[in-house]
Amino acid sequence: MKEQIQFNLRYWLVAVLLFSGLQYLMALQQRTVEIPYSEFEQYLQEGRLESVAVSERFVEGTLKEPLASGQNLVRANRIEPELSAHLQQYGVRYSGRIESTLLRDLLSWLLPLLLFFGVWFFLMRRLGNGMGGGMMQIGKSRARIYMETDSKVSFADVAGVDEAKDELREIVEFLRDPQTYGRLGGRMPKGVLLVGPPGTGKTLLAKAVAGEARVPFFSISGSEFVELFVGVGAARVRDLFEQARSKAPAIIFIDELDALGRARGIGPMGGGHDEKEQTLNQLLAELDGFDTSSGLVLLGATNRPEILDPALLRAGRFDRQVLVDRPDKLGRLQILTLHLKKARLAADVDAQAIAALTPGFTGADLANLVNEATLLATRRQAEAVAMGDFNAAIERIVAGLEKRNRLLNPRERETVAYHEMGHALVAMALPGVDPVHKVSIIPRGLGALGYTIQRPTEDRFLMSREELENKMAVLLGGRAAEWLVFGQLSTGAADDLAKVSDIARAMVTRYGMSERLGPVVLERERQRFLDSEAMYGLTRAHDYGEATADAIDEEVRRLVEESFQRSLTLLEARRELLKRCASELLEHETLDAAQLQALLQSV
């Protein structure tokens, strides 16, 4: 009914506009020629006028023969009050005319009215499109619905998160056969929260659950519930759950749940009457109100669980949390295997080597890596993607884009070469350090004038004090090389100093690796889970006295200085090798692991 009314209204508007246009065209066709009264008087004297019409403001004459432009009407302003007596001298017909102003008056109020309705209709359409289709649809859910045949994703398309898949297979079995699965009196969790860093595959896992269970999948982002008007978000939550109940068994997936489920009443502006809190309250009520036996499951995803409201995470709501973490080496290999199937690979491509080169990469990072390598191979017009393309893609992602147009003067270039070789030689001299993969003095990214890439042989989850000290020595190797060769320091070690200082402070305050301060935790790793003070920056700087703070600073300084002296001693013993390697690096700009080993063996 509503659509029919809108359809008729559009026809009426079109009809009115056409009528006004025709009237305007007719007026244009009958337009008269404005002439001075003296010329009109001349026409009278020459007998060129067939008839004259007189109004209160002007006189209009019809010519016996049209003008060259085709008009046969002339008009002049009336200036004589006794015009009728004057006209009788020339023997012409004359008559009085009442000027009609109907069309002018009609257009004077009709056109502004049409303009107003046109602007109003345009604004309502734009506002309606921004709110999900019309003012009457403002409270409707904007969830995208994927029916059973729409979801093409399965667990076979998800790799590297085997533990999370095992947790979610229970949900699939329940949705397929809820009566059999609950025969012993158990019930499924009402809500499952997928927690993990960005890019680890939380959304993909949710789609895989829907694809495996073959049920409708309602997907929506948490930010889509909140709009300009108060009460819209709560109405959309109600509508979403009503639609899902009508299609049960089904899955409701709320991505970026932290946009909707932020903890209530936190901070100086906390309150219980704003739009987001009303939306959250409605979501909590819906979670309490639906029965899992109907086959309705709520999935949520967030990478910021620390800011969620505690009421969301209690038992009976989101009572199961599934960690979707960064994949380990085996997980990265599985993910790469999936993505490499879509690329044409050369014979030298080794998926295990790529997995070893990419510690800390998420599934999204690995997909981007394969795409970058494919683009690099396409750019050089190769027939297949080679291992060199993957190495170049890793360097581009980790270190940034090459800046070959960033020209360094000879002294700066030499300083960068010795700096990077200092890192490499210290790393190659110490035991238990990740092997050096490549050294380069080609500028990359925003500020990197050179880089040294180390390739870990395996994923590490624990580090000893000796390994931390070795890592500090490697980081300070570049600064030590500059001091040893040039006798002065540069700003190139700024990032290295920041990392070394962080490691030394963690050793003293968190790991209890200082003999002076003992095995005491002075600073805890900031979890920020449901910590209202941490969220608003209200935490204290530290929980110890000034004397302890001075002792911590002295210990951090001592650890850093000892690591620097250690690097300096190692490079002093290899000074000739440092000069030779730096010369080779200046000549070739890049040295890989094989070239570095050849230089070491030649000494």
Report the CATH number that the domain containing residue 356 is assigned in CATH: 1.10.8.60
pLDDT for 572 beyond 70: yes
Give the residue among 81, 82, 80, 84 at the shortest CA–CA distance from 96.
Answer: 84
> What confidence score (pLDDT) does residue 474 get?
93
Q: Average pLDDT for residues 184-195, to the nearest whole number?
A: 78
In terms of domains, do 179 and 258 share one? yes
Residues known to be catalytic:
420
> What confidence score (pLDDT) does residue 403 get?
65
CA distance linking residue 215 with residue 223, whole number of Å: 24
348 Cβ neighbours under 8 A, 6+ residues apart: 386, 387
> What confidence score (pLDDT) does residue 532 get?
39
DSSP string, 24-86: HHHHHHTPPEE--HHHHHHHHHHT-EEEEEE-SSEEEEEESS--TTS--EEEEE---TTHHHH
Which CATH number do you get for residue 209? 3.40.50.300
In terms of domains, do 388 and 434 share one? no
End-of-domain residue from the set 323, 339, 360: 323
Measured between its terminal Cα atoms, the distance across the chain in Å is 90
Tokens of 293: 């036996």
pLDDT for 95 beyond 60: no
CB contact at 8 A, 412 and 586: no
Q: Which residues are annotated as a binding site?
A: 196-203, 419, 423, 496
Q: Which residues are annotated as a binding site for ATP?
A: 196-203
In terms of domains, do 459 and 531 share one? yes
CB contact at 8 A, 213 and 262: no
Q: Quote the number of domains for the chain.
A: 4
Q: Average pLDDT for residues 276-297, to the nearest whole number?
A: 73
Q: Average pLDDT for residues 388-406, to the nearest whole number?
A: 77
CB contact at 8 A, 358 and 394: yes
> What confidence score (pLDDT) does residue 426 get?
92
- Please state whether the peptide bond connecting residue 81 to the residue before it is cis, i.e. omega within 30 degrees of 0: no
Long-range contacts at 143-147 (CB < 8 A, ≥ 24 apart) = 143/218, 143/219, 143/220, 143/224, 143/240, 143/243, 143/252, 144/218, 144/219, 144/220, 145/216, 145/217, 145/218, 145/219, 145/243, 145/247, 146/207, 146/210, 146/216, 146/217, 146/219, 147/216
Let me know if residue 297 belongs to a domain: yes
pLDDT for 99 beyond 60: no
In terms of domains, do 339 and 465 share one? no
Q: Who has greater pLDDT, 556 or 251?
A: 556
365 Cβ neighbours under 8 A, 6+ residues apart: 199, 358, 397
Range of the domain at 344: 329-399
Let me know if residue 60 belongs to a domain: yes
β partners of residue 91: none
CA distance linking residue 366 with residue 372, whole number of Å: 10
Identify the weakest region by mean pLDDT among 94-98, 510-514, 562-566, 571-575.
94-98
Q: Evaluate if pTM is beyond 0.85.
A: no
- The torsion defined by the Cα of 16, 20, 25 and 26, in degrees rounded to 10, comes to 100
CA distance linking residue 503 with residue 559, whole number of Å: 10
Q: How confident is the model at residue 9 (pLDDT cuts 50, 70, 90)?
A: low
In terms of domains, do 201 and 294 share one? yes
Q: How far is CA 197 from CA 134, 255, 305, 313, 368, in A?
A: 37, 13, 10, 19, 16
Q: Average pLDDT for residues 544-570, to the nearest whole number?
A: 90
In terms of domains, do 394 and 414 share one? no
In terms of domains, do 304 and 374 share one? no
Identify the weakest region by mean pLDDT among 13-22, 213-222, 278-287, 561-570.
13-22
Let me know if residue 113 belongs to a domain: no
End-of-domain residue from the set 286, 308, 323: 323
> What confidence score (pLDDT) does residue 11 get?
57
CA distance linking residue 298 with residue 289, whole number of Å: 13
In terms of domains, do 449 and 535 share one? yes
> What confidence score (pLDDT) does residue 256 get?
84
Q: How far is CA 138 from CA 142, 211, 217, 439, 482, in A?
A: 9, 30, 22, 58, 65
Let me know if residue 438 belongs to a domain: yes
Question: How confident is the model over 28-77, as pLDDT tens digits?
Answer: 445 577 777 677 777 887 888 888 887 767 777 888 877 777 677 777 66
Give the residue among 34, 41, 38 at the shortest CA–CA distance from 87.
Answer: 41
Question: How confident is the model over 483-533, as pLDDT tens digits?
Answer: 999 888 888 888 889 999 999 999 999 888 888 888 888 877 654 433 434
CB contact at 8 A, 144 and 219: yes
HSE-CB of 401 using CA atoms within 13 angstroms: 6
Let me know if residue 135 belongs to a domain: no
Over the chain, what is the mean pLDDT?
77
CA distance linking residue 338 with residue 334, whole number of Å: 7
Identify the weakest region by mean pLDDT among 134-148, 434-448, 469-483.
134-148
Q: How confident is the model at residue 211 (pLDDT cuts 50, 70, 90)?
A: confident
Tokens of 314: 């209690």
CA distance linking residue 38 with residue 85, whole number of Å: 17
Q: What angle do CA 210, 213, 215 make, to 5 degrees?
A: 65
End-of-domain residue from the set 304, 323, 342: 323
Q: How confident is the model at residue 567 (pLDDT cuts 50, 70, 90)?
A: very high
Tell me the three state secondary structure of residue 94: strand
DSSP string, 263-314: PTT-STT--S-SHHHHHHHHHHHHHHH--GGGSEEEEEEES-GGGB-HHHHS
Identify the weakest region by mean pLDDT among 65-74, 134-143, 445-454, 538-547.
134-143
Q: How far is CA 460 from CA 131, 328, 360, 453, in A?
A: 49, 10, 11, 17
In terms of domains, do 291 and 395 share one? no
Let me know if residue 516 belongs to a domain: yes
pLDDT for 238 beyond 60: yes
Q: How confident is the model at residue 272 (pLDDT cuts 50, 70, 90)?
A: very low
In terms of domains, do 166 and 256 share one? yes
In terms of domains, do 316 and 333 share one? no
pLDDT for 79 beyond 70: no
> What confidence score (pLDDT) does residue 132 get?
46
Which CATH number do you get for residue 40? 3.30.720.210
Let me know if residue 384 belongs to a domain: yes
Q: Which residues are annotated as a binding site for Zn(2+)?
A: 419, 423, 496
35 Cβ neighbours under 8 A, 6+ residues apart: 74, 75, 76
In terms of domains, do 414 and 454 share one? yes
Phi-psi region for residue 265, left (φ > 0), alpha (ψ -120 to 50) or beta?
A: left
Q: Who has greater pLDDT, 371 or 131?
A: 371
pLDDT for 408 beyond 50: yes
Let me know if residue 288 belongs to a domain: yes
Percent of the chain exceeding pLDDT 90 equals 11
Q: Are strands 144-146 and 73-77 parallel, antiparallel or unpaired?
A: unpaired
